[in-house]
Amino acid sequence: MIFPCIDLMDGKVVQLVQGREKALEADSPAEMLRKFAAFPEIQVIDLDAAMGRGSNEALVRWLASKAAVRAGGGVRSVERARGLVEQGARKVIVGTSAFTSTGIHERFLAALGDAIGRERLIVALDSKGGRIVVKGWQEATALTAEEVLRPLEAYCSGFLCTYVDKEGMMQGTDLDWFRRLRAATSLELTAAGGITTLDDVRALLAMDVHAALGMAIYTGRLSLEDLAALGR
């Protein structure tokens, strides 16, 4: 499956490079929904909430009421996760809070599963330089995505794995990394970060990995028509 991404900052749809520099502002959320109408599900990330500097809660709620969305950004509490589901999100993405300074935050993940159901929970594994990074990709942990996939399976229904090294840079992604991740878990796997060409997307789909696409769509490098045809 292909998931077009809507990343929200200051009430606008944006795309960042490496999670820091704003590269562009896109059309309104309503217009992006119209453009993405051919796709069965959309990924929505509240960047302000993720960075701890506010939220776009009303916009997330509106988007979730109009389309099937998987939503994330700043999920640091059970209340936040439950709130996203109540707003209409089909699935909730949790990243930084899934980890402690020493490993997996098992108690928090178990509480999330109890509150919203394990089947609704996606754990984000953002990797840079081979290590999982947290807090807006500003801090590296000692963990690798490959080693935590199996222990995390008990708490979620799938993973969103971002190859941060190439995120937003339009330079291609690391298909070998995603191939290793696919071999490490039987759960749903979604790839993000640097996916630039139709060949990238085809290769991911062929290995049973979903693709979450942002910059390549917003810059016109990938056409929505071609992607919708691939996803069918």
Catalytic residues: 7, 126
- Interatomic CA distance for residues 37 and 42, integer angstroms: 9
User: Which one-letter amino acid corresponds to residue 192?
Assistant: A
Given a contact cutoff of 8 angstroms between Cβ atoms, the answer to whether 212 and 160 are in contact is yes
CA-closest candidate to residue 204, choices 181, 170, 232: 181
What DSSP assignment string belongs to 2-21? Answer: EEEEEEEETTEEEEEETTTE
> Cα–Cα distance between 94 and 50 in angstroms, integer?
10
Residue with tokens 């916009």: 59
Q: Tokens 């993940």 appear where?
A: 109
